[in-house]
Amino acid sequence: MNQTVTSPQLADAGTEALPVAVAKAPARSAARLNFLDNLKMILTVLVVAHHAGQPYGPTGGAWPMTHAVKERMLGPFFHVNASFFMGLFFLISAYFLPAAFDRKGPAKFLADRFLRLGVPLVAFVLIIFPACEYVVQGHGRSFIAFVSDWLLTKHQFEFGHLWFVAHLLVYALGYALIRKLWRVYRAAVVSRPFPSNTAILLYALALAAVCVVVRMWFPIDRWVFIGVPSEIAHLPQYFSLFVLGIVAYRYAWIDRVPVRTGRLWLAIGLLMAAARYSYTALHQSFLSWPRHGFEWSSLVWNTWEAFLCVGMCIGLLYWSQVHWNGAPGAFRRFLNRNAYGVYLFHLPILVGIQLSLEPTSFGPLTLTLLSALFTLAASYLLTAGLRLIPGVSRVL
């Protein structure tokens, strides 16, 4: 039953009290969120592994170094990852926003977002990325002179892999603005049934259709700077899943995926992934995504990607909730606690490790595995060490 209350956070925000309907919903204990922490950690590891394979496989994006020998089976690894893992990251990140806003109010919510997202972004864009370029290309010039020339040449800042952090900050600002305009500082949480398979199917088809149209002008791997660097081809997926993450919190969906729904869509996601790997294995082909205007292959590709994305997002949420939601031990707590720092720091560490491994005679798959493992170990140790510094854990 709904009841009308006056939120105490309204007074903290310095506004007049407004009646807000608050519905009783299933309690969210910390234990019930263990599976989301575990899933974010696995996605972080997958991001590192994805980047670790860039010099050694048929990637469509730019990378600071390349390897002479390419492993074609890394092609489906890249394609399957890119079809869902950042979208799922956006969904999970959005799921935590409403509770944070409800608990903290607008001012503290924004201060926290700037601290957690804005501070690392500024540090990397203005210091760490330019310093990395200086080490490679400085050639005895002063750091200030090199950075000035470098920025003037590029005509924009280098965001690297922190495009994701930049997008999260922009989306959080947009979310706070909407809540402020609607003058809702404590919104309702209503228990509603999980979307039906028909509704999920329609979303997947709509996502595929929108991507077909968008990618006629903005193919995959074409980046555009619109305040923040954006791969327009994937924006329909990222933004829609971000919105769905917020809705999932309000309707108490994400931590109670129905068994049949979870199993069905996990099977669909795995089937789509298996189809991509099988194609390369059977046809001895790299198989790159369509890039020019509308083609029938574009319709097939985007439909495949949409169903893989939806299947893996729902399926992994279901699987991790059912099978990986227990209280974490010390080692898993360590992994989860430091995962954000690993995402932030892994790229410069990874490139350095890849360069150091280049003189070896290992094959591309071995190099991918070694660079991923060494990078994960170094990034976790660096993050854990930095978090020992007073105040740093508030950011990392």
Task: Tell which wins on pLDDT, 98 or 135.
Answer: 98
Task: Tell which wins on pLDDT, 293 or 68.
Answer: 68
pLDDT average, residue stretch 267-283: 93
* Model pLDDT for residues 215-266, shown as the tens digit of each residue: 999 998 899 988 899 999 999 999 999 999 999 999 999 888 999 999 999 9
Q: Are 321 and 255 in contact (CB under 8 A)?
A: yes
- Split at pLDDT 50, 70, 90, the class of 390 is very high
Helix axes of 143-154 and 129-137: crossing angle, nearest 10 degrees:
110
Residues near 280 by Cβ (< 8 Å), separated by ≥ 6?
A: 72, 73, 75, 76, 286, 287
Q: Is the per-residue pLDDT at 11 higher than 70?
A: no
C-alpha separations of 364 from 21, 67, 368 in Å? 57, 8, 6
- Split at pLDDT 50, 70, 90, the class of 17 is very low
Question: What integer pLDDT is reported at residue 296 of this predicted model?
Answer: 78
In a domain, 339, yes or no: yes
- Split at pLDDT 50, 70, 90, the class of 32 is low
In a domain, 139, yes or no: yes
In a domain, 396, yes or no: no
Q: Which residues pair with 90 in a beta bridge?
A: none
Give the residue numbers spanning the domain of 345. Answer: 2-391
Residues near 14 by Cβ (< 8 Å), separated by ≥ 6?
A: none
Neighbours of 241 (CB within 10 A): 25
Residues near 28 by Cβ (< 8 Å), separated by ≥ 6?
A: 99, 252, 255
In this prediction the pTM is 0.88
Read off the DSSP letter of residue 101. H
Question: What integer pLDDT is reported at residue 18 of this predicted model?
Answer: 33
> Could you give the residue ranges of the DSSP H alpha helices within the chain?
9-12, 34-52, 74-95, 97-113, 119-123, 129-137, 143-154, 163-181, 197-214, 235-250, 259-283, 296-323, 330-337, 339-357, 364-386
Mean per-residue pLDDT over the chain, rounded: 87
In a domain, 159, yes or no: yes
- Split at pLDDT 50, 70, 90, the class of 214 is very high
What is the count of structural domains for the chain? 1
Q: Is the per-residue pLDDT at 31 higher than 60?
A: no
Read off the DSSP letter of residue 194. P
Q: How far is it, in rounded angstroms, from Cα 270 to Cα 126?
A: 41
Q: Is the per-residue pLDDT at 287 higher than 90?
A: no
In a domain, 330, yes or no: yes
**Alpha-carbon dihedral sign for residues 291, 295, 301, 303:** positive
pLDDT average, residue stretch 337-350: 97
**Alpha-carbon dihedral sign for residues 292, 211, 83, 377:** positive
pLDDT average, residue stretch 152-159: 74
pLDDT average, residue stretch 1-29: 37
| Percent over 90 (pLDDT), the chain | 67
CA 374 to chain CA centroid, Å, is 22
* Model pLDDT for residues 102-155, shown as the tens digit of each residue: 999 999 999 999 999 999 999 999 889 888 878 777 677 777 877 777 777 766
- Tokens for 215? 């990618």
Question: What integer pLDDT is reported at residue 3 of this predicted model?
Answer: 36
Task: Tell which wins on pLDDT, 303 or 283.
Answer: 303
Q: Is the per-residue pLDDT at 371 higher than 80?
A: yes
